[in-house]
Structure 1
Amino acid sequence: MRYELRSTFRRIAWMDETPPKATEGLPDTSPVILYANHHHFYDGHLLWYLLRHALGRPGTIWMEEWDRYPFFAAVGAQPFPTDDSRRRAATIRRTARRFREAPRTVMVYFPEGELHTPAEGIHPFPEGAAQRLARFYPEATWWPIAIDVTFWGDKHPTACLLPGTPHSAPDGNERDRLTRLWHTLRETLPEAPHHVLLNGRPSPTDVWDFSRFASLFARYLKPL
């Protein structure tokens, strides 16, 4: 997954002055439910990289189509099929056990429930879904993160992550909170303070320099 991220993006940028590990209000020894928008194919990969390599924390995510991609179990994915309540219940129990046995675990949650285009904004969250999740895991801290994929003048896109303020439990304002965060991220300029979490594939302008051949091509310039 790291190789794929390096091949796809110019960089992964944490759009905050504070590095991930120093995020104020983020507990270091208790579970976290990280919730984010879902506009891009690589959203899960990006958050995996954040957890594994920037924060050094184990992660888990529930996948409706786990059976199609079971190899993601190696990076914490668990099955959550819509047509099998027993498997969903097993995943809920397994997640609780992971939170007990490895309390630094972070659960990645895409409350929109589906991948969709950024042009549609932030989709409505299912009614009461966050509250039900909080009842299963009352000890977890909730942490919003906005994701945007954009171009900073390079051949390959930059993946930007903007953290919000961790909070103790859902209060019904999760969608509004994430929407504001996402709009802020989309309006943030590359010059804003940030940390590069991963340098990916460089642009030709970063590696090509043919100035040594300038004299050979000067003959094509017509004299004034």
Structure 2
Amino acid sequence: MSRPSDPEAARSARMARFFAGVMRRQLARQFRAVRIARPGLPPLDVARPVMVVTNHPSWWDPAVMIALHDTLFPGRTGFGPIEAAMLDKYPFMGRIGLFGVEEGARGAAGFLRVAGRLMARPDRVLWITAQGRFADPRERPLGLRPGAAHLLARQPGLVALPLALEYPFWSEKRPEAMLRFGTPVAAREGEAAAEVGARLEAALTASCDALAALAMARDPAAFRTVIGGARGTGGVYGLWQRGRAALAGRRFVPDHEEG
């Protein structure tokens, strides 16, 4: 099946905004909260394009990226690769900035060509689940695919921003969606793709390890909540909680723990 060769031309800003709203509502329904670990997004040079490089623990990862793009990167246009077969199945994804990538050497070359053209402008963000497969957030090594490193080595102006993702359960029926940004990585002059790739994987691993520690600590104060989700357990148990609070003369809080 033929695909648009120019993701910028295929992308619709209106469609991207609409779909981002859909994803935000879905996240609010399905998660207790979407939280970003403090201090949040590191300072970035507005004169340089950004490639957000993430681990890939869940089906929800692209939804989080789409929902939060405008919040995190206002004024920058977002794009991302997707399996070519998925784009064939869901052509509307091309309207929100996703472009198809084939498997194998031909697909890798195509990715570098398209992504390189997109990242030639500073007002762009490329979102990549760099493991290229679903993997437990505690799996080590991360085993990043080499595409992100090759793109960094080819485009010295590009900055890679590591982003750790995890979806643990705390005290509520619904899970938490958690993010933590790491230290930005850029290719040094003359640096080979393998070398910058090793530094990128180390930076993402460090962010994943730090997020794991925060997830185990279960302290909401360590995060900024960017989407407040569904609260409490609902059903008969939720009614019992509400009634018990009324009898005790205290304010009803739908969570087991506030935060």
Q: 1:178 aligns with which of 189, 201, 204?
A: 204
CA distance in 2, matches of 1:32, 1:98: 11
Q: 1:69 aligns with which of 87, 90, 95?
A: 90
Contact 2:185 2:199 in 1 (8 A): no
- The answer to which structure, 1 or 2, has the higher relative contact order (CA under 8 A, 6+ apart) is 1
The Cα offsets for residues 33-79 of structure 1, whole Å up to 9 and x where unpaired, read as 11110011111111222222233232111112322332222321101
Contact 2:51 2:128 in 1 (8 A): yes
Q: What is the match of residue 24 of structure 2? A: 2
Alpha-carbon distance, 1:211 to partner: 3.9
Query: Taking structure 1 as the reference length, what is the TM-score of the superposition?
Result: 0.79
Contact 2:137 2:165 in 1 (8 A): no
Contact 1:112 1:122 in 2 (8 A): no
Q: 2:103 aligns with which of 82, 87, 90?
A: 82
Alpha-carbon distance, 1:27 to partner: 1.9
CA distance in 2, matches of 1:36, 1:212: 42
Q: What is the match of residue 39 of structure 1? A: 57
CA distance in 2, matches of 1:72, 1:105: 18
Alpha-carbon distance, 1:138 to partner: 2.6
Q: 1:54 aligns with which of 34, 55, 72?
A: 72
Q: What is the match of residue 123 of structure 1? A: 142
Asked whether 1:209 is paired with 2:209, we answer: no
Query: Higher mean Cα deviation, 60-69 or 154-163?
Result: 60-69
Q: What is the match of residue 112 of structure 1? A: 131
Q: 2:181 aligns with which of 163, 183, 207?
A: 163
Question: Which segments of 5 or more consecutive residues in structure 2 lack a partner in the other structure?
Answer: 1-22, 188-195, 249-259
Question: Which segments of 5 or more consecutive residues in structure 1 lack a partner in the other structure?
Answer: 216-224
Percent of aligned pairs with the same residue? 23
Asked whether 1:11 is paired with 2:67, we answer: no
Alpha-carbon distance, 1:171 to partner: 5.3
Q: Report the AA paired with residue 97 of structure 2.
A: G
Query: Taking structure 2 as the reference length, what is the TM-score of the superposition?
Result: 0.69
Q: What is the match of residue 28 of structure 1? A: 46
The Cα offsets for residues 72-96 of structure 1, whole Å up to 9 and x where unpaired, read as 22321101011693x7655544434
Q: Comparing both structures, which one devotes a greater share of its residues to helix?
A: 2
How many matched pairs? 208
- Higher Rg of the two aligned structures: 1
Alpha-carbon distance, 1:192 to partner: 4.2
Q: 2:118 aligns with which of 75, 78, 98?
A: 98
Q: Report the 3-state secondary structure (helix = DSSP H, G, I; strand = E; otherwise coil) of the residue aligned with 1:118.
A: coil
Contact 2:152 2:186 in 1 (8 A): no
Q: Report the AA paired with residue 154 of structure 1.
A: E
Contact 1:7 1:200 in 2 (8 A): yes
1:173–1:167 CA distance, 2 compared to 1 (3 A): closer
